[in-house]
Amino acid sequence: MDPRPLSYWWGRAVYGAVAGVLFAFLLVFLLRTLFGFEPLWEGGVYGGVAGLIGGIGFLWGIGCFDFWLGWAKGADISVEDHSFHGATNWRHYFRLNTDHKVIGIQYLAMTLFFMLWGGLMALLIRTELAAPGQQFADGETFNGFLSMHATLMIFVFAVPVFGGIANFALPIMLGAKDMAFPRLNALSLWFLPVAGGLFLSSMFTGMFGAAWTAYPPLASQGTMGQTLFELGVQFAGASSIATAINFLATIITMRAPGMTIWRMPILAWATGVTSVLVVFATPFVAGSQFLTMFDRVMGTHFFAPDQGGDVVMYQHIFWFYSHPAVYIMLLPGFGIISEVIATFARKPLFGYRAMAFSLVAIAVLGFGVWAHHMFVSGMAAWLRVPMMITTIIIAIPTGVKMWSWLATLWQGKIHMKTPMLWALGFLFTFLMGGLSGVFLGVVPIDIQVSDTYFVTAHLHYVLYGGTVYTVFAGLYYWFPKMTGKMYSERLGQWHFWLTFVGTQLTFLPMHWQGLQGMPRRVADYDPRFATVNAIETLGSYMLAIATFIFFYNVITSWKSGPKAPWNPWRGKTLEWLVSSPPPIFNFDAIPQVVGGPYQYGIPDARHAVVFAPEEFGGELKEDTRYPVLVVANQTLVSQTLIDEIRSRDADGLWSFQFVVPVGDDDRSIAERRLATTLAILAGHGVAATGRIVEGDVVDVATEAATEAVPHELVLVTLPLTQGAWMRADVVDKIRKATGVPMSHVVVPADDARAITGASTLPMVMVVAGEAVGAEALATAVRARADAAPARFTIVLALDLSEPRWGAEATERRRTAGVAMTATVNALVSTGVAVEGQVMDDAPSVALPLAITAFAPAQIIVAGVNGEADALAGAVQEAAGDTPVEIVDVGTVAGS
Amino acid sequence: MATTAGHGHAGHDDGAHGAAPAHGRSPLLLSMLLFIGSEVMLFASLFTAYFFIRYGVPNETWPPLKADGEPFELPVVMTLVNTLFLVMSSFTLWWGEQRLAAGDNKGLIRGLWVTIFLGATFLLIQLNEYAHLGFTPQDRAFSGAFYTLTGFHGMHVLVGLIILSMCLRRAYKRDFSTAYHTPLTAGSYYWHFVDIVWVLLFLLVYVI
C-alpha cells in the first residue's frame, strides 16, 4: 500500500486545481492582450479555460496521471505495482484506487452524493410549486434549480451510477481479477467530481438556466454558469466513454474459462450493450456542447440564423446522443433486474437469449428515434412518421423483456426481500413510463402534450422506475457483497414503500396536469392546479424522507450490521462464490464456468467450479471445503431443508455439520431424524456430519460455533408461532453470541412432514392389516427405521365388497383413513419418513399392484391376530427377489 | 499476477491476466478500435453540423458569402498537395511496420521519422493556410464550421504525432520486436484513422 497520507493527495489535488485555474486566467489574459481582443475581461472565456485546466490540474493532483507521466519520464515504474490497489481501511476509499471493487464503491458514493444535491434541487422546485404564485424563487432562480436538478441527476447520477454497480459486480461475475485497464478505470472515476464540481460551482458564477438540454439560442445567452455546464458535460462524457471502452475490453477479453457469451449473466450483456451505446453516441453530446461553447467562447455562429447558423441542428445532434442516453440510463438497470428477479423467484430466467437479443435490439433501434423529441421543433416534416414508427417499434423488444420478467415470476418461489421489492416496483413504475412513452411517440399526441407535465410524468416514471428503482435493487442486492455486512431488512422495506408511494403521489397526477395543459419548466401556474401540485409536493417530501432512511440504513449497517455470509441470497453467479467482501484479486483460484448462470431449482446444477491454484491441482478437495454449521431439529428431513443444503452444496465449496439441540423431548426422535437426513443427503452425494447436543438452542449453537468457527451458521426452524424453540429473539441472540454470518431458513409446518426429499433412501413397504392405527405397528416401523435409515409406505388393503359406493364402503374407507393417519402422524412426529396408502381391493389384487407401483427395496408384513400368513401369501409371488420379512406385532384388542 | 493491461513496457503482450486465456484478442487493440469508433462519431457530429449549415445557405449559393459579401474561397490545390503528404505518411508508417515484421528495427525507426516529418509538414502547411485564408471563425456560420472541422482534425494530427513520437522512442529502446508490437499497431491504427478522416474532410469540405 502506498504510505502517503490523504492530506498529501488532497493537498496536491487542491494545489493542482488552483494552480490550473490561475494558469488559465494568466494564459487567457496574455493571449487576449497579445491579440488585442476587446473587452479584455470576458467571464465565459476565462471561466471555460479555467474550468478545463483547473479540472486537469485536479486530476493530476489526485494522482490519475502519475503512472503514465512516470512512464513517459522513464521513471522506475512497473505494471506489477499494486500499491494503489484495494482498500484495507476507510482512507483508501478517499484517494486514487485501481481496485475495481473500491472504484465501484467510490462511483456509487460519488453519484449518490450528486443525487442528494439533485434531489435537494427537486425539493426546492417542488416547494416553489407547492402553491400558485411565487414562494421564494423568481423565474430565473427556478430555471437554475430545474437545470441543476436535471443536469446533476442525468450526467453525474443516472449515467455513471451504473458504472459503479457494474464496476463492482461485473469483473467478478465474469471471473476476472479486475477490469482490463484499472488505471483508466480510476481516471474515469475522477472525471466525475470534476464534472459535478463544474456544475455545482456554477452556483457561484450564476446558475445555468437552459435546462439539461441546453438548447440554443437560450444556451447561447446566460451567465458563465452555462459555459461551465458545457465543460462539465465534456468531462462527464469523457468519463462515460473511457469506462465504456474499459467494460467492453473486459467483457470481450477477460472472461473466465468456460464463460461463453451465452453463459454470461444478463448484467454483462446489458453493460456491454450499454457500453456500445456510450462509445458511439456520447461523442454527439460532446460535439453539440463543443459547438455551443464555441458560439459562446470563440464567437462562432453555429446557432445564429442571421449568420447562416441553424438551431434545429443543435437538437438533432443533441438528441442523437440523448435519446440513446435514455437507454444508457435504463439497460444496465434491466440487467440488474434480471439478476434480482431470477434469484428471488428461484427460477431460471425466462427467455435468456430473448433477453439478450432484446437488449441489442433496443440499442440498435435507439439510434433511430432521436427526432421524436423534436416533433414540434420545426424540423423537416418528413422525418416525423418514420421516427414515430421506430419509436413505437422499440416497445416490442421492451415488451419482450417485460413479459420475460413476468414469466420468470410465474409460479416462482418468490422471496419478498428488499431487492425483490424494488424489482417489482420497477416492473410497475417502468411499465407506466413505457406506456406513456408509446403515447408520446405518436405524433398528434406528442404535439398536443409537448412541453407539458405529461412529458415530465413520463420521463420521471421511466427514470424513477428504470434507474432509481433498479439502482436501489442492485444496491440492496450487492450490499452484503460490497460491505460484508447485512443491511437492515426492516429499514430497507420502509425505504421501498415510502419511495414507491412517494413516486406515485408525486408523478401520477402529473399525467392529468399535463393533459389539462400545465406547461413544464415554469415557476408559476393556474390556481386550478393548486391541489394536485400540493399533493405532488407532499409526495416529493416523502421521497426525501425515504432517501434519508436509505442513507441511515447504509451507514449504520456498514458500521455495525451483522456479518454477511458469502451467499445470502443463494445466487448462482460467480460473485457469490467468493467471500463478502471479496479478496483483493477476487479469486484465490481460477474459476471454471460449466453452465448457465440462472439454473435455479435445477438439482445439482452448477454455474462454475472454483479450482485450486495450479500447484495444488484440480477442484477443491473435501478437506479444503469451508464448514457450514446447520442447526435444526424439528425441521430435519423436510424438503425445504434438503433443498437448501443441496443448493448450497452445488457451489462445491462447503461441508455441512449438523448440530441438533434437544431439550426435554425424546432424544431418540432427534437421532432418528438426523440419521434419516444424513442418509438422504448422502444419497444426493452431499457430505455432511451431525451430532445431537442437549441444551437450549442458543447455547448449543453458540458452543458449536465457537468450538470450530464455521463459515456460516444456518438456522432452520418452523415458523415463529409453531416451533418449539423459535422465539423472536433467537436469531439475534445467536448472531450476537457467535458473531458468525447467519442465515435463517423457515420451514412451513406442512413441509416439515413431507418426505419427498427422502427419495434417495431405500423404500420399505409395510403391509399391514388390522394393525393400522395400533401403537404396536408404529413401534415395529420405528425399530426398522432405527436399524438403517429408510422411507416407508404403509399399505392397507381393505378388501371392500361390492358395491363399493355404498354407505358401508364409505364408512370403512373413513375408519381406515383415520387409523392410517394416526399411525403416520405418530411416526412422522418421531422422525420417521413415512406415507400411508389405503387400497380398496383384496390383498391378493392390491398388494401386487402396490409392489409394482412402489418398487420397494424391502417388504415387511406386519400382521396381527394371525393375519400375517394370509398377507404374506398375497405378496409372495409379486415380491420376486425383494426380501420379505414377516413380523408378528401381536394381538390388537377390539379387532 | 498482472492486474493492469496495456500500459506497460514489460515486454509481454498486454492483458496477460492469468484468468483470461484463450480469447486471443488484445484488449489494447480492441480499445483503440473502440476509441477510434468513438472519434468517428465525434467527427460525424461535426460533419452533421457542417451539412446543416451548408444546406441552410440561402439561395443554395455555394460557396456561401462572407460577411463582406465576397464568397469563401478555399485553397484547393495547395490542400490537395498537403493531402498527398498526409496520405503518403500512412504508407511510410505501413512501410516501417513491414520493416519491423522483417526484423529490421532500423527500418522501423526510419519509417517513423519520415511519417512524423510528413505529419508535421501537413500541420505546418495547415497552420499557414489558416493565416492566409482571409476569414476568421467569427465570420459566418460556415467559417465556424470550417475552422471547427479542420481544427479538430489538426488536434488529432497533433495527438497522432505525439503517439508516434512515443513509439519512436520505444523503437530506439528496441522495445518492439516481430513478436511484440501492440502499442505500435495501436498507434498506427490511430494514424490511419486521422488520415482517412482528412481525406473525407478534404472531399466533403474543399472539393464538393
pLDDT number for residue A776: 82
Gap between the Cα atoms of A767 and A843, Å rounded:
9
A300 shares contact with chain B (CB less than 8 Å):
yes
Residue B191 is assigned to a structural domain of this protein: yes
In-domain check, residue A354: yes
pLDDT band at A617 (very low <50, low <70, confident <90, very high): very low
Q: What mean pLDDT do residues A414-436 have? A: 95
**For position A755, what pLDDT does the model report?**
59
Q: Which residue of A has its CA nearest to B13?
A: A79
DSSP 3-state of A860 = strand
| pLDDT tens track for A275-303 | 999 999 999 999 999 999 999 888 899 99
Instruction: Kindly determine whether residue B19 and residue A282, on different chains, have CB atoms separated by under 8 Å.
Output: no
pLDDT tens digits for range B97-155: 999 999 999 999 999 999 999 999 999 999 999 998 888 888 888 899 999 999 999 99
One domain, residues A746 and A812: no
Q: What digits encode the pLDDT tens for the residues B156-195?
A: 999 999 999 999 999 999 989 988 899 999 999 999 999 9
Tell me the pLDDT tens digit for each residue of A296-338: 888 899 998 888 888 999 999 999 999 999 999 999 999 999 9
- Set of chain A residues whose Cβ sits within 8 Å of the Cβ of B57: 308
pLDDT score of A492: 96
Closest C-alpha among A270, A273, A268 to residue A251: A268
CB of A72 within 8 Å of any CB in chain B?
A: yes
**Is the minimum CB–CB distance between A284 and chain B shorter than 8 Å?**
yes
Q: Which of B7, B23, B138 sits opposite A68 (nearest CB)?
A: B7
List CB contacts (< 8 A) between A183 and chain B: 4, 7
Which of A297, A307, A586 to probe the B interface (max B CBs under 10 A)? A307
pLDDT in tens, A350-385: 999 999 999 999 999 999 999 999 999 888 889 999
How large is the ipTM? 0.89
Q: Which three cell numbers stand for residue A817?
A: 383413513
Residue A598 maps to a domain: no
Domains: count for chain B: 1
Domain endpoint, select from A279, A300, A329: A329
Q: Show which of residues 842-871 on chain A sit within 8 Å of chain B, judged by CB atoms.
A: none
What is the percentage of chain A residues whose pLDDT exceeds 70? 96
Q: Is the pLDDT of residue A839 over 90?
A: no
**Model pLDDT, residue A367:** 92
pLDDT tens-digit map of A478-496 = 999 999 999 999 999 999 9
- Write the residue in B19, B27, B138 that is nearest to A177 by C-beta: B19
Give Cα A15 distance to the centre of its chain. 40
Look at A98 and B4 and tell me if their CB atoms are within 8 Å. yes
Least confident of A61-70, A166-175, A230-239, A711-720: A711-720
In a domain, A582, yes or no: no
pLDDT digits (tens, 9 = 90+) for A442-480: 999 999 999 999 999 999 999 999 999 999 999 999 999
Residue pLDDT, tens place only, B16-61: 333 333 345 688 999 999 999 999 999 999 999 999 988 877 666 7
Chain A residue with CA closest to B34: the answer is A245
Q: Is the pLDDT of residue A169 over 80?
A: yes
Q: Is A283 in the B-facing interface, judged by CB distances under 8 Å?
A: yes
Distances (CA, A) of B84 to A68, B43, B79, B108, B208: 34, 21, 8, 21, 18
Q: Does residue A782 sit in the same domain as residue A820?
A: yes
For residue A547, give the C-alpha cell.
432517501
Determine the structural domain holding residue B106 and report its residue range. Answer: 27-53+77-207
Name every chain A residue with its beta carbon within 8 A of the beta carbon of B3.
82, 85, 98, 177-178, 182, 585
The answer to whether residue A304 neighbours chain B at the CB level (below 8 Å) is: yes
A859 and A725 both lie in a single domain = no
A630: domain CATH number? 3.40.50.620
> Nearest C-alpha of chain A: how many angstroms from B204?
18
CATH number, domain of B122, equals: 1.20.120.80
User: Do A459 and A538 share a domain, yes or no?
Assistant: yes
In a domain, A514, yes or no: yes
What single-letter amino acid sits at A546?
A
Domain total for chain A? 5
Q: Is residue A861, in this structure, part of any structural domain at all? A: yes
Residues A740 and A772 in one domain: no
A835 grid coordinates = 406415507
pLDDT in tens, B51-95: 998 887 766 677 777 877 788 888 899 999 999 999 999 999 999
Compare all CA atoms of chain A with the CA of B145 and give the residue at the minimum distance.
A302
- Across chain A, what does the average pLDDT equal? 88
Whether residues A406 and A482 fall in one domain = yes
Final residue of a structural domain among A709, A729, A753: A753
Q: Do residues A454 and A548 both lie within one domain?
A: yes
pLDDT at A189: 96
Q: Is residue A406 part of a domain?
A: yes
**Among A64-73, A219-228, A341-350, B6-15, which is the least confidently predicted range?**
B6-15
Helix, coil or strand: residue B110: helix
Find the angle CA(A174)-CA(A180)-CA(A182) to the nearest 5 degrees. Answer: 115
| Residue A453 covered by a domain | yes
Q: Are A477 and A532 members of one domain?
A: yes
Q: Please report, for the domain that includes residue A489, its CATH number.
A: 1.20.210.10
Between CA A438 and CA A23 the distance in angstroms is: 51
Residues A296 and A227: their CA atoms lie apart, in Å, by 7
- Answer yes or no: is B115 within a domain: yes
Cα separation, A108 vs A101, in Å, equals 11
Packing angle of the helix pair A100-128, A159-174 (nearest 10 deg)? 150
Residue written as grid cell 459547438? A291
Q: Which of A753, A771, A793 represents a domain boundary (last residue)?
A: A753
* A275, part of any domain: yes
Domain that holds residue A816: 762-888
Closest partner residue to A284 (CB to CB) among B34, B45, B140 is: B45
Nearest to A96 by CA among A65, A127, A140, A137: A65
Dist CA A579 CA A574 (whole Å): 11
Q: Among B52, B75, B39, which residue's Cα sits nearest to residue A287?
A: B39
Name the pLDDT band for A826 (thresholds 50, 70, 90). confident
Considering only CB atoms, B45 lies closest to which of A287, A304, A590, namely A287
pLDDT digits (tens, 9 = 90+) for A182-229: 999 999 999 999 999 999 998 888 888 888 999 988 888 877 889 999
Q: Is A620 on the interface with B (CB under 8 A)?
A: no
- Residue A794: beta bridge partners? A766, A836
Q: Residue A241 pLDDT > 50, yes or no?
A: yes
Q: Look at residue B63 and tell me if it is in a domain.
A: no
Query: Residue B65: inside a domain, yes or no?
Result: no
